[in-house]
């Protein structure tokens, strides 16, 4: 599903601003992540999600600035950006039942592609993630459920950021960049990119900070 026209216009404005700021400030190191929730999510879920994304991508050196999409025009300089829209209710879905564990794959997020280019916009299916994980979340202590759900959301978002900042539609054989994530992977104590994907993010980091090696000049 593609973002609405208003969102496309905002994305275009943000992308132009990022390019202009990058030229004025040749070595900014932060990437802006603009988030928008269809329904409000608890502070515990949001905090856990942000912490997990930062943890997964920390080996690359990327620094993220988290902003509400509504505050997009109030932000300072940044090197690049992505926009994440969270659809549905980000929380528990008791109606799904503790014994229901469908084997059919479900879509947890979608990042659109236009003319072969991955757009810097993703839709995270928050309601679907909650229903998918419900059987396992129900057996956790109530105090741990929001943090576990937020961590899973962060892993789904990190997967989509791999597509966005890597400019690729390909998937890895395993890890966060794999095409399918099991409940166990989304709720495990740790779930990471493979070294190949981490290298890609490090290359992206070096490029936006001006640290990429320059070819030697010939005389």
Q: How many Å apart are CA 134 and CA 74, to the nearest integer?
A: 37
Residue 131 lies in a domain: yes
Residue 39 lies in a domain: yes
Domain containing 199 equals 5-208
CATH of the domain at 152: 3.40.390
Residue 33 lies in a domain: yes
Mapping DSSP to helix (H, G, I), strand (E, B) and coil, where does residue 114 land? strand
Residue 119 lies in a domain: yes
Residue 214 lies in a domain: no
CB proximity list for 113: less than 8 A, separation 6 or greater: 119, 169
Residue 44 lies in a domain: yes
Q: 38 versus 2: which is more confidently predicted? A: 38
Tell whether the model's pLDDT for residue 82 goes beyond 80: yes
Task: Write out pLDDT tens, residues 97-151.
Answer: 544 455 567 899 999 999 999 999 999 999 999 999 999 999 999 999 999 999 9
What is the per-residue pLDDT for 76? 66
Mean pLDDT, residues 30-35 taken together: 91
CB atoms within 10 A of CB 196: 11
Burial of 107 (0-12, 13-18, 19+ CB in 10 A): exposed
What average pLDDT is seen over the chain? Answer: 83
Say how many domains are in the chain: 1
The DSSP call for residue 80 is: E
Q: How many Å apart are CA 154 and CA 18, to the nearest integer?
A: 24
Smallest Cα–Cα separation from 169: which of 107, 133, 108, 119?
Answer: 119
Mapping DSSP to helix (H, G, I), strand (E, B) and coil, where does residue 122 land? strand
């Amino acid at each position: 599903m593609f973002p609405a026209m208003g969102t496309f216009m905002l994305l275009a404005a943000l992308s132009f601003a990022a390019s202009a700021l990058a030229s004025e400030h040749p070595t900014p190191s932060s990437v802006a992540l603009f988030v928008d929730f269809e329904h409000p999510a608890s502070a515990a879920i949001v905090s856990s999600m942000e912490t997990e994304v930062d943890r997964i991508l920390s080996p690359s050196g990327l620094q993220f600035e988290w902003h509400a999409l509504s505050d997009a025009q109030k932000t300072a300089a940044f090197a690049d950006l992505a926009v994440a829209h969270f659809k549905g209710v980000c929380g528990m879905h008791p109606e799904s039942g503790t014994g229901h564990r469908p084997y059919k794959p479900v879509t947890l997020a979608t990042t659109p592609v236009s003319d072969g280019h991955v757009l810097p916009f993703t839709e995270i299916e928050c309601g679907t993630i909650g229903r998918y994980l419900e059987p396992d979340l129900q057996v956790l202590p109530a105090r741990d459920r929001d943090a576990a759900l937020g961590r899973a959301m962060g892993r789904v978002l990190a997967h989509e950021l791999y597509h966005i900042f890597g400019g690729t539609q390909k998937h890895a054989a395993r890890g966060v960049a794999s095409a399918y994530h099991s409940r166990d992977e989304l709720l495990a104590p740790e779930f990471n990119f493979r070294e190949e994907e981490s290298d890609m993010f490090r290359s992206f980091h070096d490029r936006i900070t001006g640290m990429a090696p320059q070819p030697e000049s010939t005389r």
